[in-house]
A and B are shown apart, each in its own frame.
Chain A
């Protein structure tokens, strides 16, 4: 999905940037900390296309068991969540 604002201020990554800390580090990045995610035990869950929700082995919706705001850190299909999925923004 796009937004006009995002289009107006493209933030594409330049090539040839490395991932090491440099002497050019912005002031605000000095205060980076590792977040404490709140994982959900989803090992026995699957998406039920009929109910359109995540369910546990017996078909009961996870939402009836676990409450919102407790997202897993890594999606099963390998995509990475945004911070808002890790933190209760």
Chain B
């Protein structure tokens, strides 16, 4: 049994799990795809049992046939020689992706398989399955039609804009991100809505929000209490204004969350909910590779241990 962890060398969240696995006597190989092909050597051959062979790092040799658990954490892109031309770089990167990525994809025991992460990161896709799983989903519109957006917002009344991804961009040397943003009636039909897909959602009154971390069906709920105006709109915008507690998750929500993850083929995920003053839980989104370390720190729930357990459990 060997656990393969795909992440960068500076991922302290992964460090914690690696230390726990090591304490349990479980062999671990930490590998950053950025080290392929310059520091990692792949040698694999197909046979009657599929792909076998080795991945050799400067410090370890991984026998692919021994891998029983793989954690896709925060791997970086392949790093190729800077001397390559653009054409050479693109050829090498694509071949590395298909070769290294293809072999790795063939292994089993993923938390989570990168294809599942890729699919689940599409918010319309996850909202579709959340509805199918019986979770309450706020009224939501995705459009690039300003006129339709204006009409929908007028019918809903209190509306927020939410990006469909987790966009970040660089302008004039500064990094920008977009959080959930309330919009006012004068913005509802803005022509700039026509320039790409935009998502609008009914704004809900909040008693508190919940980050529900799930690992192989185990639930680690954390109520997030916001104590500033910015944090009340989007808790990501003001971490210093947050406090945490452990709420009781209604059975219907728990069942829906498990069903959602089954539909999305995710063994790990961080789900976000709003709990309204009437006690109803409203599903906002699922983060298939969301951070959990700070939740563990604030609530004391053993999430790292659960991940270590999952990585040493043979996938069904």
Contact = CB atoms under 8 A, between A and B. Distances in A.
B181 interface: yes
Nearest to B11: A71
Nearest to A27: B192
B13 A68 contact: yes
B54 interface: no
Contact of B115 (A4, A27, A35): A4
A62 B119 contact: no
B236 A88 contact: yes
B169 A52 contact: no
Interface residues of A, number: 53
Given A1-B114, A49-B59, A85 B74 contact: yes
Given A53-B18, A79-B34, A34 B174 contact: yes
Interface in B116-150: 117-119, 122
B175 A34 contact: yes
Interface residues of B, number: 71
A82 B175 CA distance: 11
25 contacts: A2-B98, A3-B117, A4-B115, A5-B119, A19-B171, A28-B163, A29-B167, A31-B181, A38-B239, A42-B10, A53-B19, A61-B19, A63-B16, A63-B19, A69-B293, A70-B293, A71-B10, A79-B34, A82-B74, A84-B166, A84-B291, A87-B177, A87-B236, A88-B236, A89-B236
A23 to B, nearest CB: 9
Interface stretch (B193-201, B248-256, B258-266): B193-201
Interface of B: 6, 8-13, 15-16, 18-19, 22, 28-30, 33-34, 58-59, 72, 74-76, 79, 97-98, 101, 104-105, 114-115, 117-119, 122, 161, 163, 166-172, 174-179, 181, 187, 190, 192-193, 195-196, 198, 236-237, 239, 270, 287, 289-294, 296-297
A53 B23 CA distance: 13
Contacts of A28: 161, 163, 167, 178, 196, 198
Given A67-B297, A83-B168, A88-B239, 14 more contacts: A1-B33, A26-B192, A26-B196, A27-B190, A31-B161, A32-B178, A34-B174, A36-B239, A64-B19, A68-B294, A71-B10, A75-B10, A87-B291, A89-B236
